Amino acid sequence: MLPKLLNSQVCVISCAVFYAGTSDDPSSGGDVIPVGDGMSDILGVYRNEDIMLSLSSGKITDYASFSILCEESKESFAKITIPGNFKTPEPAHLGDFGFKRRVHNVHADDVIILNPKQIQFVNLDYDGRGPSPSALYADTLTTRLWMLIVCPEVRNRSLFRTGDGTPDSGDIKVPLPADNPDKILPRYSGATVTITLPDGLTVFDVDFIGIWCILARQDFGHRMITDSDLTDIPPLIEPATTPLPATEATRYLLEFRGILSLNEYLAFGISGSPTETSWLGSDVSVVWFDPSDSEPRAEDYHLNAYSQCIPNDGTGACPDQLQQGGEDNVLLVHGFQRNGLSVIRIERPLSASEAWIHRLSPGNVYVSWGIGFINPTGHVAKHDTPATGDVFVNFGSPSSTCPALKAIADVVPDPWIIEPLRPDCGDTLTAVIGPSGGQRGYQGIANQVGWGFAWFINGFLIPEIHVKRGCNYTFEVNGGDDETMTGTYHPFYITDVSDGGFLQKTAAERSRETQYSAVAEGPLCEYQGDSNPNDFENFDDYKATLTKDVFSVIRAWTLVWQVAEDTQTWFTIR
């Protein structure tokens, strides 16, 4: 970890980077240090900003210089030398705490000054039986810092306190916890307790701190500190935050950061329910990178049914502009991919959506999010990484404390090997709907994105079926027959195209497709499970985690297909 660059002033120089040099001459070799969250190397515009940098690997003592360098010309714009005897800042260990003959059992194995604001008691004991509640005080600096445990003052308030020289009655309260000045110090038994000095006060401004009995004016234990103990303590590092999202009068800015591959989308928005996370009814923004040109895309979606988008009537997971009276209110601001991380920023007008207007208020708002793939029609397929449980966001918070994302290797799992079926003439095959199996299943086998459901034929996920021309084959169809329930309505037919979705296509799209059978529908029978298919090396192990649920006692609908002599060699069941 490198120290902060305080009050830095840097102009935009397209080649400028932070650089850790392996010698005093930065141009002779070293490593670029990424800026901020690691998403960029090139410096931006900085005016009196504090910047926190982290080395990608190694320690600062592995380097001899730190500079702002133009990689193209090897010109150094500013440089500091890291001395060979450089000592990294370390917390100051003051040793054990308390009198040999314990007072109210006060003792700690160690007292540590963590940084200018925080002091830690390790393995602290205190019986909590002072005459009345305890508290902390801080006083002005002389030349020493005393650490004391003190007993409560009369007015039921717990405080630590510091003072000048030896324990006395200081008057600057340091409550524990910091946001509760009336909290009584509890009993401690082997506890690690960290106290934080209030705003405007550091360990350099005080002489002692501890627990002191004001009523009895008794010192329960103290520890002296010389100035030399404070010379190498680390600086206080504030938590890194990002002002995200942000509102600007009539618009709302959202920035998406995730580990996405090309054609993989990230969806985020207001939940369809004000009391829980619910996809149904959600108003979400969908962002992804188009594999055709690697450019970012963003689109407004409303999810009115658990099904793939039916463009003809806007039913299902559809873009707003395909729904009656809807329009795309998402404006793409910018986006890029680097080191496996994807960043896309969008803008939404606040006046565009009732859901966003009325529910983007301070406090917790339930949201929906998910990650999945864009299907061949250009719409979202069923997410394969959904939100788990109820998720809420405080949109009134001025900053985000999300942890930094780390790039991971883009490893695509091998698809399962599904043995072909070779039915005899006149055989019957059973078709049951089930999960598509993710990248190991439908997506890997068919080499295209599906909606999230696929056919299991005789219990096997989308197997090749070898048939003979002139023979009859019977299919018992169990995919759902209530077309008003779009999430569980899966008609069955045989065609010459690979994407399926005949009922969801326009008239022009249907005219380009050849159907070899009628469209069949039957009662719903479905394989279900919540295991991650990518975790299973073979289909049999994955299928063992699924349950087969029958939702109707009605007999399966049968489709009898006679393979015509002119049927093409390859066809698809959809």
pLDDT in tens, 449-471: 767 788 999 999 889 888 888 89
User: Among candidates 366, 368, 415, which has minimal Cα distance to 392?
Assistant: 366
pLDDT for residue 550 is more than 80? yes
Alpha carbon separation from 26 to 1, 31, 59, 80, 454 (Å, rounded): 19, 9, 17, 10, 58
pLDDT for residue 144 is more than 70? no
Domain made up of 246-394: CATH architecture: Sandwich (2.60)
pLDDT given for residue 339 in this prediction = 61
Q: What are phi and psi of 446, to 5 degrees?
A: -90, -10
Pick the more confident residue, 64 or 401: 64
Count the alpha carbons within 13 Å of 164 in the hemisphere toward its beta carbon.
Answer: 7
Q: What is the pLDDT of the chain when averaged over all its residues? A: 74
Count the alpha carbons within 13 Å of 99 in the hemisphere toward its beta carbon.
Answer: 13
pLDDT given for residue 143 in this prediction = 31
pLDDT for residue 13 is more than 60? no
Which residues, in sequence order, are CB contacts of 136 under 8 Å at separation 6+?
A: 158, 159, 160, 161, 162, 173, 174, 175, 176, 195, 209, 210, 211
pLDDT given for residue 457 in this prediction = 92
- Asked whether the beta carbons of 106 and 149 are under 8 A apart, the reply is yes
Question: What would the pLDDT profile of 396-427 be if each residue is shown by its tens digit?
Answer: 665 555 655 555 555 678 888 888 889 999 99
| Helix/strand/coil for 415 | coil
442-463 exposure pattern, b = at least 16 Cβ within 10 A, e = fewer: bbbbbeebbbbbbbbbeebbbb
Question: What would the pLDDT profile of 109-134 be if each residue is shown by its tens digit?
Answer: 988 988 888 888 888 887 776 554 33
Q: Determine how many CB atoms are found less than 10 A away from the CB of residue 351.
A: 11
User: Which strands form 218-225's sheet, in the order they lie side by side?
Assistant: 208-209, 145-150, 218-225, 212-213
Q: Confidence class of residue 159 from pLDDT cuts 50, 70 and 90?
A: low
pLDDT for residue 172 is more than 50? yes
Provide the residue type at 558 as one letter: T
In angstroms, the CA 51 to CA 35 distance is 8
Question: What would the pLDDT profile of 278-333 be if each residue is shown by its tens digit?
Answer: 878 888 889 988 888 888 889 988 888 777 777 777 777 888 877 666 677 788 88
This prediction's pTM: 0.43
Q: Which two tokens stand for residue 542?
A: 């994955």
Question: What would the pLDDT profile of 494-534 be if each residue is shown by its tens digit?
Answer: 887 776 666 666 677 777 788 878 888 888 888 988 888 88
pLDDT given for residue 544 in this prediction = 92
The string of DSSP codes covering 153-167 is: -SSS---BB--SSSS
Q: Confidence class of residue 214 from pLDDT cuts 50, 70 and 90?
A: low
pLDDT given for residue 12 in this prediction = 36
In angstroms, the CA 129 to CA 111 distance is 22
Give the Cα-Cα-Cα angle 533, 537, 541 (nearest 5 degrees).
70
- Asked whether the beta carbons of 265 and 241 are under 8 A apart, the reply is no
Across residues 219-245, what is the average pLDDT?
69
Q: Confidence class of residue 169 from pLDDT cuts 50, 70 and 90?
A: low
Instruction: Point out the least confidently predicted range of 57-71, 218-232, 458-472.
Output: 218-232
pLDDT for residue 177 is more than 60? yes
pLDDT for residue 105 is more than 70? yes
pLDDT given for residue 14 in this prediction = 45
Diameter of the chain by CA atoms?
105
Across residues 367-378, what is the average pLDDT?
82
Instruction: Point out the least confidently predicted range of 29-43, 53-67, 116-130, 311-325.
Output: 29-43
pLDDT for residue 3 is more than 70? no
In angstroms, the CA 156 to CA 184 distance is 7
In angstroms, the CA 89 to CA 4 distance is 13
- Residue spans per domain, the chain: 5-81, 92-230, 246-394, 428-573
484-508 exposure pattern, b = at least 16 Cβ within 10 A, e = fewer: eebebbbbbbbbebebbbbebbeee
The H-or-E segment that residue 184 falls in is none
Peptide bond before 177: cis, by omega within 30 degrees of 0?
A: yes
What single-letter DSSP state applies at residue 97? B
